[in-house]
């Protein structure tokens, strides 16, 4: 059964190749892609249920024994992330199909998105540091392609910060892989977990951990490495922007959770403190960046930075409860952020601009869209009983119980300012009057796009109302992530199933 662990990578990869073989956008091609993504979502849910019941599934690629070969490990955290990425990909693809006519679809858009999904899934599943680097490169290259595909001439310069900062990040990551190999003599994450525990107090381990935080913090967009994010995301086509906004920075957060939770020893207290303070600054600086902006999608992009701060703060607080809070927050945030970007796309389609001061009147013209926005915006700001409230509540509760008063204060300030800028969007775009003589472009396609948004809104409502159950899953995932011995044991156990295999 463990061979099924490879499916979330093989499925989008194979579908991408098939889509390249049949490049002409057709209804059958669209149905095929949606069917594959829907199946993948169902499979991820099944995988989550299975690994929660019987522990992590491990696949040794090529039958090579641990620690010599590459392993794929599906534990609860990986399965949660796979489910989220499948859901976001499905919603964004449905939205994209609703937005543009078949004849206008670029033949490369769907294959590139599927390659991006395959790369992200490899990052979630791999149990090997260098394969993680390769996974990052796979999805980054696909994301570069998606970003600049059909980009209009006035926007191409906006891709430059994203590409250059990720190039530097990848180079640092490669160097970090090299240092890890030099220090531990292995690239297998479970073996690194064993050997790094013996190096506690060694300054080389401290420097390596700091380098990892730099690399993955850059991918996650933490202060002061976030400049690229609000520049490039608003320039993307809506479905791509929504997927990036939902998933890409959260891959960085996932790797931070995995690295600090499972791989690096728990004794790096000084670094956890640094992580928490960097996160606190990220929350406030991100939200302050949004205050001066006058475009809906730019504001939303700054809020990604601010929200990443909450998740990284939960990682920095470093306790089983705070890890559960971080995972809950990731679940909430991916769904809410992707749907808010999709709402931004519908607004852009109806108004022709997403400037806050130029247009209005959507509250009467498109009530369903307005309600969807309001629900998600209030959720982002943390109003009970929506999902964002529980995410913030859990992080702040852990901060209070650890006596981190300043950080709690920072997160409350960020939360209030989030509400302010969400209300700014609400009054600017939805509540204010539409200027005389400017027609709203309400079309059947904008209604179909709203339907795709509603899919995510319903999931988000479900997370908010079923928060207790979601938190149980997150708690299970957090305990599993922090259980180094269990992880190592599960990965090493794969050797017994191999022909002629013997343990290290």
Partner 1 sequence: MTAQLDTALLVTVLAGGAIYLCLSRRFLRKLLGFLMLSNAANLVVLAMAGDPTGARAPVLHEGVDPTTAVDPVPQALILTAIVIGFSVAAYLTVLLYRIYVDSGTATTPRLERIAGGSDGLDDGVIR
Residue 102 interacting with partner 1 (CB under 8 A):
no
CA-CA distance, 351 to 434, in Å (whole number)? 10
Site for partner 1 in 3-62 (CB under 8 A): none
Residue 178 interacting with partner 1 (CB under 8 A):
yes
Q: Kind and range of the H or E element at 284?
A: helix 269-291
Nearer to partner 1, 175 or 207 (CB): 175
Select from 3, 35, 160, 400 the one that contacts partner 1 (CB under 8 A): 160
Site for partner 1 in 438-457 (CB under 8 A): none
DSSP 128: B
Q: In whole angstroms, how close is the CB of 96 to partner 1 at the nearest point?
A: 10
Q: At what angle do helices 159-184 and 203-220 cross, to 10 degrees?
A: 160
Select from 52, 137, 397, 442 the one that contacts partner 1 (CB under 8 A): 137
- Write the burial class of residue 385 (CB in 10 Å: 0-12 exposed, 13-18 middle, 19+ buried): exposed
Nearer to partner 1, 130 or 227 (CB): 130
Nearer to partner 1, 1 or 153 (CB): 153
CA-CA distance, 305 to 282, in Å (whole number)? 7
Select from 3, 28, 63, 150 the one that contacts partner 1 (CB under 8 A): 150
Cβ–Cβ under 8 Å, residues 56 and 74: yes
Cβ–Cβ under 8 Å, residues 295 and 355: yes
Q: Is the dihedral of CA 263, 284, 306, 408 positive or negative?
A: positive
Site for partner 1 in 279-298 (CB under 8 A): 295, 297-298
DSSP 433: P
Residue 475 interacting with partner 1 (CB under 8 A):
no
Distances (CA, A) of 91 to 308, 398, 455: 22, 33, 7
Distances (CA, A) of 430 to 227, 350, 482: 29, 12, 44
Q: In whole angstroms, how close is the CB of 110 to partner 1 at the nearest point?
A: 15
Structure tokens at 357: 């001061």
Residue 148 interacting with partner 1 (CB under 8 A):
yes
Residue 101 interacting with partner 1 (CB under 8 A):
yes
Q: In whole angstroms, how close is the CB of 144 to partner 1 at the nearest point?
A: 6
Distances (CA, A) of 74 to 219, 354, 372: 22, 41, 34
Residues, the chain, total? 504
The residue whose two tokens read 């700014």 is 424
Q: In whole angstroms, how close is the CB of 254 to partner 1 at the nearest point?
A: 21
Residue 159 interacting with partner 1 (CB under 8 A):
yes
Residue 171 interacting with partner 1 (CB under 8 A):
yes
Only segment of 168-176, 204-212, 387-395, 496-504 that touches partner 1 (CB under 8 A): 168-176
Q: In whole angstroms, how close is the CB of 199 to partner 1 at the nearest point?
A: 16
Distances (CA, A) of 432 to 335, 361, 378, 439: 27, 6, 18, 15
CA-CA distance, 409 to 401, in Å (whole number)? 14
Residue 134 interacting with partner 1 (CB under 8 A):
yes
Select from 2, 353, 432, 434 the one that contacts partner 1 (CB under 8 A): 353
Select from 69, 199, 355, 447 the one that contacts partner 1 (CB under 8 A): 355
For residue 449, give every residue at least 6 positions away whose Cβ sits within 8 Å of its Cβ, in sequence order, or none.
95, 98, 99, 342, 345, 346, 349
Q: In whole angstroms, how close is the CB of 136 to partner 1 at the nearest point?
A: 10
Q: In whole angstroms, how close is the CB of 134 to partner 1 at the nearest point?
A: 7
Residue 348 interacting with partner 1 (CB under 8 A):
yes
Select from 2, 30, 155, 227 the one that contacts partner 1 (CB under 8 A): 155
Nearer to partner 1, 244 or 260 (CB): 244
CA 308 to chain centre: 10
- Pattern of binders to partner 1 over 307-346, x per CB under 8 A? ----------------------------------------
CA-CA distance, 479 to 37, in Å (whole number)? 29
Q: In whole angstroms, how close is the CB of 350 to partner 1 at the nearest point?
A: 11
- Pattern of binders to partner 1 over 192-231, x per CB under 8 A? ----------------------------------------
Residue 130 interacting with partner 1 (CB under 8 A):
yes
Q: Kind and range of the H or E element at 37?
A: helix 27-54
Structure tokens at 96: 């994209």
Nearer to partner 1, 133 or 318 (CB): 133
Nearer to partner 1, 294 or 406 (CB): 294
Select from 40, 44, 170, 282 the one that contacts partner 1 (CB under 8 A): 170
Q: Is 449 helix (H, G, I), strand (E, B) or coil?
A: helix
How many chain residues are in contact with partner 1, going by CB under 8 A?
50
Q: Kind and range of the H or E element at 451?
A: helix 444-465
Q: In whole angstroms, how close is the CB of 170 to partner 1 at the nearest point?
A: 7
Residue 168 interacting with partner 1 (CB under 8 A):
yes
DSSP of 195-253, one letter per residue? HHHHTTT-HHHHHHHHHHHHHHHHHHT-TTS-THHHHHGGGS-HHHHHHIIIIIHHHHH
List contacts with partner 1 (CB under 8 A). 100-101, 104-105, 130, 134, 137, 140-141, 144-145, 148, 150-160, 163-164, 167-168, 170-172, 174-175, 177-179, 181-182, 187, 234-235, 237, 295, 297-298, 348-349, 352-355
């Amino acid at each position: 059964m463990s061979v099924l662990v490879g499916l979330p990578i093989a499925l989008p990869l194979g579908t991408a190749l098939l889509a390249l073989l049949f490049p002409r956008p057709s209804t059958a091609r669209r149905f095929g892609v949606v069917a594959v993504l829907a199946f993948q979502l169902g499979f991820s849910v099944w995988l989550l249920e299975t690994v929660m019941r019987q522990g992590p599934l491990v696949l040794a690629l090529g039958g090579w024994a641990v620690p010599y070969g590459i392993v794929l490990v599906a534990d609860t955290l990986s399965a949660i992330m796979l489910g989220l990425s499948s859901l976001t990909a499905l919603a964004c693809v449905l939205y994209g199909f609703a937005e543009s006519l078949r004849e206008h679809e670029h033949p490369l858009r769907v294959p590139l998105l599927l390659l991006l999904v395959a790369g992200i899934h490899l990052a979630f599943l791999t149990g090997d540091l260098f394969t993680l680097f390769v996974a990052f490169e796979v999805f980054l290259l696909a994301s570069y392609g998606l970003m600049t595909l059909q980009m209009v001439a006035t926007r191409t310069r906006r891709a430059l910060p994203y590409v250059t900062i990720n190039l530097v990040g990848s180079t640092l990551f490669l160097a970090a892989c090299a240092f890890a190999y030099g220090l531990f003599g292995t690239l297998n994450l479970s073996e690194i977990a064993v050997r790094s525990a013996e190096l506690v107090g060694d300054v080389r381990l401290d420097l390596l951990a700091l380098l990892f935080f730099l690399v993955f913090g850059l991918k996650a967009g933490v202060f002061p490495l976030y400049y690229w994010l609000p520049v490039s995301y608003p320039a993307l086509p809506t479905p791509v922007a929504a997927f990036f906004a939902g998933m890409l920075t959260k891959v960085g957060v996932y790797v931070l959770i995995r690295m600090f939770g499972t791989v690096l020893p728990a004794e790096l207290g000084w670094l956890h403190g640094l992580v928490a303070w960097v996160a606190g600054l990220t929350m406030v600086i991100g939200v302050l960046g949004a205050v001066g902006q006058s475009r809906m999608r730019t504001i939303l992009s700054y809020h990604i930075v601010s929200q990443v701060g909450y998740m990284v703060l939960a990682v920095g607080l470093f306790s089983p409860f705070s890890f559960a809070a971080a995972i809950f927050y990731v679940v909430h945030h991916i769904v809410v952020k992707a749907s808010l970007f999709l709402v931004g796309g519908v607004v852009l389609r109806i108004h022709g601009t997403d400037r806050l001061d130029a247009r209005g009147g959507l509250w009467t013209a498109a009530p369903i869209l307005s309600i969807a926005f309001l629900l998600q915006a209030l959720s982002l700001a943390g109003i009970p009983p929506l999902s964002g409230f529980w995410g913030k509540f859990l992080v702040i509760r852990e901060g209070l119980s650890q006596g981190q008063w300043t950080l709690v204060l920072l997160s409350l300030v960020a939360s209030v300012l989030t509400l302010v800028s969400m209300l700014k969007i609400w009054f600017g775009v939805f509540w204010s009057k539409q200027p005389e003589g400017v027609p709203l472009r309400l079309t059947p396609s904008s209604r179909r796009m709203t339907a795709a948004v509603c899919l995510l809104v319903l999931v988000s409502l479900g997370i908010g109302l079923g928060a207790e159950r979601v938190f149980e899953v997150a708690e299970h995932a957090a305990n599993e992530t922090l259980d180094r011995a269990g992880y190592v044991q599960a990965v090493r156990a794969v050797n017994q199933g191999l022909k002629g295999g013997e343990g290290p």
